[in-house]
Amino acid sequence: MAAEGTNHSHTDTFIGITCVVIFLISYLCVLGEEFFHLRKSKPVIIAAGLIWLLVGLAYTLEGDNESAAIAFRHNLLEYAELFFFLLAAMSFITTLEERQVFAALRSWLITCNLSLLQIYWATGALAFFLSPVADNLSTALLMGAVVMAVGQHNVRFVAVGCINVVVAANAGGAFSPFGDITTLMVWQKGVIGFSGFFNLFIPSVISWLVPALIMSAVVEKGNPVPERRHQQRQMKPGALPILTLFLLTIMLAVTSHSLLHLPSVLGMMTGLGVLKLYGYYLSRFESSIRDTGHVHNLHIQNLTDISQMKGDHTDVIRRFDIFQVVERSAWDTLMFFYGIVLSVGGLAALGYLGLLSDLFYSNLGPTLANSLIGVLSSLIDNIPVMFAVLTMQPDMSTNQWLLVTLTTGIGGSLLSIGSAAGIALMGQAQGVYTFSSHLKWSWAIALGYLLSIMSHLWLNGS
C-alpha cells in the first residue's frame, strides 16, 4: 500500500502493466510447479524484487523519493510478523512429527479394525478437528495416508476418501486463526478477534458435512482388506510434553494479543524458545533417535556420511537436535509467502487493488463479492487473494469479514488445485486422487459451499 497521504495510480501506465505481466508470469510458474518441478517460491521472489524496483522507479519519476520505501517497509513488517509466527508453529508441528505423534495416531487408526465407512467418517472428522491446530496441509497428508493405507487397491474408496479429507481439512481450518495462513493473516491484522472466528464453526461444519454425506453413498459398507504386515508405531519420549507446550504456546499468543495488545508472534516465539530449551534436555538424556517423516531422509544421509568418517562421531548425529528439526520446516512455503506478500503489496502501491476494490465491492456489494472471492480462491491460491482483500481494506462489517474468511478457506475445496491440501494429496495418491476425480464431486462441494454461506448469513447476520 502506498504511504499515508499519497495517492499514486499507475494502473494505465507502461510500468504498471509491466508489473502485472511479471506477476502473472510468476504465478503461471507457481501453477505449473508439478510440471516444471520448480519450487514455487523461486519465481515469486524474483517477481517481488522486479515489481518493487519498478514501483520505486515510478515514484521517483514523479519526484517522490520516500513513499515507495515507506510502503515497502510496511509490507516487509507485515511479512516478518507472519514469518516468525509460522516458523514457530511449523517447528512445533515438525517436532511433533519427529516424536512420532502423527505416526502413532495413524498406526492406531489402521489397527482399529474399522469398516471402510467408519474409516471414511473417522478420517474426515479427525481432519476437521485437527486442522484448526495442526494446519490443513499437515492434517490432509496425515489423514490421506490413513485412507490410502486402509483402502490399498480400492481405487473408488481412496479417491472419495481423499476428497473428504481435503474438504474437511479446509473447512476445519476456516474457523481457527491457526487453521490456515489466511485466517492467521486476518487475526493478526486485527480485523476479527480470536473468539470471533468460532462464529464460523457451524458454517464450516455444513461445508464439510453436506458433500461428505453425499459422497458416503458410494463408500462400500464392508471391511478393508487386512494389512499383512503393519508395524505398530509408538510415540517417542517427550511427545506429550511437547504437545502440552504447543497448546500453552498458543494460549500465550492469544492472551498476549487479546489482553496486552502485543503482537501474537511474541507469544509464539517465546514458546519456540522454551521448545528449544526442552530440546536441549532431550538431547542430553536421549542417547539415540530413529527419525521418521520429514527428517527421516536427512538423518539417513547423515548416518551414511558419518559411517565413512574415522572415529566415533555417533553422539553428534544420533542425539535429538531441535535445529535439525527446524531445518525441515516448510521453507519453500515461507519464502513463497514472502514473494506473494511483497508482489501484491507492490501492485497495491501502483493502485491496482484500489481499482479491484471498486470493481468488486462498490459494484457488486460485499456479500456477492465475498462469495465470488471464495470461488476465485479455487483457481488462485487463497494467500494472495486474502492478502489482496486485507490490503484493499473495503468498508465492511465484522460479519462480512467473517464471510470472506469463510469463503477463502472453504472455496479452495471446489477444485483439487484450489488448496495446498488438495495439491499435496494429488502428489501423495498419484493416479487415484486426481483433478478429474475431484471434479466429479465438485457439484456436491459447491452445494455445501452455498449452504455454508447461507447459514453464516442466517446465524451471524448479513
Rg of the chain (C-alpha set): 23
Render pLDDT for 373-409 as a digit per residue (tens, 0 to 9).
888 888 776 777 888 888 888 888 889 999 999 999 8
Distance CA 59, CA 47 (A): 18
Query: So what's the pLDDT on residue 41?
Result: 82
Residue 193 has pLDDT above 50, yes or no: yes
Instruction: Please state the three-class secondary structure of the chain as a single string.
Output: CCCCCCCCCCCCCHHHHHHHHHHHHHHHHHHCHHHHCCCCHHHHHHHHHHHHHHHHHHHHHCCCCCHHHHHHHHHHHHHHHHHHHHHHHHHHHHHHHHCCHHHHHHHHHHCCCCCHHHHHHHHHHHHHHHHHHHCHHHHHHHHHHHHHHHHCCCHHHHHHHHHHHHHHHHHHHCCCCCCCHHHHHHHHHCCCCCHHHHHHHHHHHHHHHHHHHHHHHHCCCCCCCCCCCCCCCCCCCCHHHHHHHHHHHHHHHHHHHHCCCCCHHHHHHHHHHHHHHHHHHHHHHCCCCCCCHHHHHHHHHHHHHHHCCCCCCHHHHHCCCHHHHHHCCCHHHHHHHHHHHHHHHHHHHCCHHHHHHHHHHHHHCHHHHHHHHHHHCCCCCHHHHHHHHHHHCCCCCHHHHHHHHHHHHHHHHHCHHHCHHHHHHHHHCCCCCCHHHHHCCHHHHHHHHHHHHHHHHHHHCC
Residue whose grid cell is 500465550: 252
Q: Which of 186-200, 227-241, 277-291, 295-309 has the lowest mean pLDDT?
A: 295-309
Please compute the mean of the pLDDT values over residues 226-249 and round it to a whole number.
Answer: 78
Residue 13 counted as domain residue:
no
The domain of 326 spans: 79-331+351-460
Mean pLDDT of the chain: 80
Angle of helix 264-285 versus helix 67-98 axis, rounded to 10: 40
**Does pLDDT of 271 surpass 90?**
yes
- Ramachandran angles phi, psi of 314, nearest 5°: -65, -25
Q: How many domains does the chain have?
A: 1
Share of the chain above pLDDT 90, in %: 24
**9 part of a folded domain:** no
Judge contact between 13 and 62, C-beta under 8 A: no
- Chain length of the chain: 462
Question: Which of the four pLDDT bands, split at 50, 70 and 90, describes residue 462?
Answer: low
Whether residue 373 is contained in a domain is answered as yes
Share of the chain above pLDDT 70, in %: 85
Task: Look at residue 289 in the predicted model and tell me its pLDDT.
Answer: 43
d(CA 55, CA 61): 10
Q: How confident is the model at residue 14 (pLDDT cuts 50, 70, 90)?
A: very high
Residue 2 binned pLDDT confidence (cut-offs 50, 70, 90): very low
pLDDT of residue 286: 64
Are 435 and 415 contacting, i.e. CB atoms less than 8 angstroms apart? Answer: yes
* Cα–Cα distance, 460 to 22 (Å, whole number): 40
CA gap 226, 161 in Å, rounded: 18
**31 inside domain:** no
List pLDDT tens digits, range 435-450. 888 889 999 999 999 9
pLDDT at position 305: 41
**CA dist., res. 408 & res. 393, Å (int):** 16
> Is 25 within the bounds of a domain?
no
d(CA 185, CA 175): 13
The mean pLDDT of 349-355, rounded to a whole number, is 82
Does 299 score more than 60 pLDDT? no
Residues 361 and 404: beta-carbon distance below 8 Å: no
Q: What is the mean pLDDT of residues 358-384?
A: 83
Residue 95: pLDDT above 90? Answer: no
Stronger pLDDT, 162 or 232, i.e. the higher one = 162
Contact partners, residue 130, CB within 8 Å, separation at least 6: 139, 142, 143, 169, 172
Phi first, then psi, for residue 135 (nearest 5°) are 60, 150
Residue among 388, 405, 401, 408 at smallest CA distance from 75: 388
Is 38 or 290 the better-scoring residue by pLDDT?
A: 38
* The C-alpha cell that represents 323 in the structure block: 535445529
One-letter identity of residue 227: E
7: Cβ contacts below 8 Å, ≥ 6 apart: none
| 208-225 mean pLDDT | 86
Q: Give the Å distances, CA to CA, from 80 to 74, 130, 228.
A: 10, 26, 49
> Ranked by mean pLDDT, which of 125-139, 219-233, 376-390, 431-445 comes out on top?
431-445
Question: When comparing pLDDT for 17 and 422, which is higher?
Answer: 17
The residue among 322, 328, 321, 319 whose CA lies nearest residue 297 is 328
Do 32 and 40 touch, CB atoms closer than 8 A? no
Cα–Cα dist 140/135, whole Å: 9
Span 100-121, average pLDDT: 80
Of 75-79, 361-365, 378-382, minimum mean pLDDT range: 378-382
CA-CA distance, 452 to 408, in Å (whole number)? Answer: 12
Name the residue with cell 458410494: 218
- 139 lies in some domain: yes
pLDDT of residue 302: 38
Does pLDDT of 128 surpass 90? Answer: yes
